[in-house]
Amino acid sequence: MSSRFPVPEVPSASGPAHRFSRRRLLRHGMAAAGALLAAGPLSGCAAPASASDASALSVWDLFQGGDGMLMDDMIKAVSGGSRGFEIDRTILDWGPSYYTKLAMSAAGGRASDVAVAHLSRLAGYAPGGLLDPFDLDVLAEFGVTRRDFTPAVWARTQHDDATYAVPLDVHPFIVFYDKEAAGRAGLLDSSQELAPMGSPEALLEAGKALAEANGEAGILFGHVTDTAQTWRLFAALYAQTGAAFTLPDGGRAEIDVDAAVRVVSFMQQLFDGRSNPNNLDYNGAIANFVSGRGGMLMVGEWELPTLKKSGIPLGAAPFPQVFDEPAVYTDSHAFVLPHQESPDPARRREAHRYVAEMLKQSLTWASAGHIPAYQPVLAEPEYAALDPQSSYADAGRVAVLDPPNWFTGAGSNFQNRMCQPLQSALLGNTSAEKAVRQMVSEANTLLRQPNPVA
């Protein structure tokens, strides 16, 4: 269940207060989901409520906790003044259930005006008609164009030459480090930031140097029983080799096996159980880092609020380049337009304006560690002053997401199935070669499954 609590009304400069409410969660059984998704073409969906039936824009997202409060702040900011929005916000639990409900709402004619989705999940929604494209001319009227986003991120918003998502952020897999330990290990540059690595050997040596400087562990990485962590690490390193990981519909996985074995072998060397532990779970790695028992932590930037509370002299950097190509594994929270059979033109235009105005508020979003996808915000002096956020902002320029297919992306079974052989390899239970063979086999198994919304 997602949390629900009243948000104070924000007075308008020209009239009554704008209404913020959290609608009850949609409660649909899996049987209903299966019926809707198996129903075939969506042309028979019932039309959504018209603008005259409900004046508030309905928005769905999956942000709770600190992120949820920041989203509240951003919505309040765009809801004041004479042109403020009236927003009806629904918060749903993060995970596979969110994406099931998003698909059901679009297929069943009960879609919200705007929703948030991970960009890595777009391939499972846009091709099946579950999302509507954005009108770039309308967005441009409100000050947002494709030039405001890095090419690496914008490329993943496209399907059939149309734009189906507008990124709010980039949230990469990065490194946090103890600046004092890194300084003693000789890993900082003249600006007291983490110096480039440049090779696998350099990162291996950095782990040893951090362990010696720290007196305990060097590099911490929590992966045991986790359904995404080893995939994030593998995907970052594999992309740096320059090899492609392609999952073609109706075909077999196209993976450079030699490059993949090289990467898994390096992961085994890095987390050897000596300088860098190989048997930590996610929370254990964070706990060790915040208690000073490790010099560096490989994790998502979303852990920044927790790490800042520790009092460690905290530094951060994009994931180090150690192979031939710069690449950082990432994902992106993006605004999407769930499919509506006959959208009201004025209401749809307001949805575009809402998205544009929220992007302009993303300096607030950056306070939690997320990199604003809207580049004009990154150019603001206030963003440059954010420490350590501004230190890893360039990660968005070399962002690499999951290979696109309907079964990949955040919270997917694909990530889980890739993690299992990788975890086994890091724990010393299987060889790099066997782990890669299992990854290829798992990918091919998923490719043989029919797309439920095709």
Reading phi first (left if > 0) and then psi (alpha if -120 to 50, else beta), residue 128 is in alpha
Q: Specify the pLDDT at position 30.
A: 33
- Secondary structure element (H or E) that encloses residue 335, with its range: strand 333-338
Q: Give the distance, in angstroms, between the CA of residue 403 and the centroid of all CA atoms in the same chain.
A: 14
Show the CA angle centred on residue 176, arms to residues 2 and 279, nearest 5°: 80
Cα(439)–Cα(441) distance, integer angstroms: 5
Environment class of 264 (CB within 10 Å of its CB; exposed 0-12, middle 13-18, buried 19+): buried
φ/ψ of 150, rounded to 5, equals: -70, 145
Q: Specify the pLDDT at position 380.
A: 97
Cα(249)–Cα(34) distance, integer angstroms: 21
Helices (H), 48-135: 65-78, 96-107
Q: 264, 138, 252: which is closest to 200 by C-alpha? A: 264
Tokens 């609590």 correspond to what residue?
5
**β 328-331/254-255 pair status:** unpaired
Cα(207)–Cα(174) distance, integer angstroms: 15
CB 263 within 8 A of CB 438: no
CB 255 within 8 A of CB 443: yes
Q: Specify the pLDDT at position 453.
A: 72
CB 224 within 8 A of CB 279: yes
Q: Specify the pLDDT at position 454.
A: 67
CB 209 within 8 A of CB 201: no
Cα(33)–Cα(121) distance, integer angstroms: 18
- What is the CATH topology of the domain spanning 20-168+332-391? D-Maltodextrin-Binding Protein; domain 2 (3.40.190)
Q: Establish whether domains 20-168+332-391 and 172-330+412-448 are of one fold.
A: yes
Q: Specify the pLDDT at position 108.
A: 86
φ/ψ of 338, rounded to 5, equals: -55, 145
**β 131-132/333-338 pair status:** antiparallel
Q: Specify the pLDDT at position 54.
A: 55
Superfamily of domain 172-330+412-448: Periplasmic binding protein-like II (3.40.190.10)
pLDDT tens per residue, the chain (454 residues)? 332 223 333 333 333 333 333 333 333 333 233 323 323 322 222 233 333 345 899 999 999 999 999 999 999 999 988 899 999 999 999 888 899 999 999 988 789 999 999 999 999 999 999 999 999 999 999 999 999 999 999 999 999 999 999 999 999 999 999 999 999 999 999 999 999 999 999 999 999 999 999 999 999 999 999 999 999 999 999 999 999 999 999 899 999 999 999 999 999 999 999 999 999 999 999 999 999 999 999 999 999 999 999 999 999 999 999 999 999 999 999 999 999 999 999 999 999 999 999 999 999 999 999 999 999 999 999 999 999 999 999 999 999 999 999 999 999 999 999 999 999 999 999 999 999 999 999 999 999 999 887 6
Terminal Cα-to-Cα distance of the chain (whole angstroms):
30
Tokens 């929370």 correspond to what residue?
283
What are the domain boundaries of the chain?
20-168+332-391, 172-330+412-448
Q: Specify the pLDDT at position 406.
A: 95
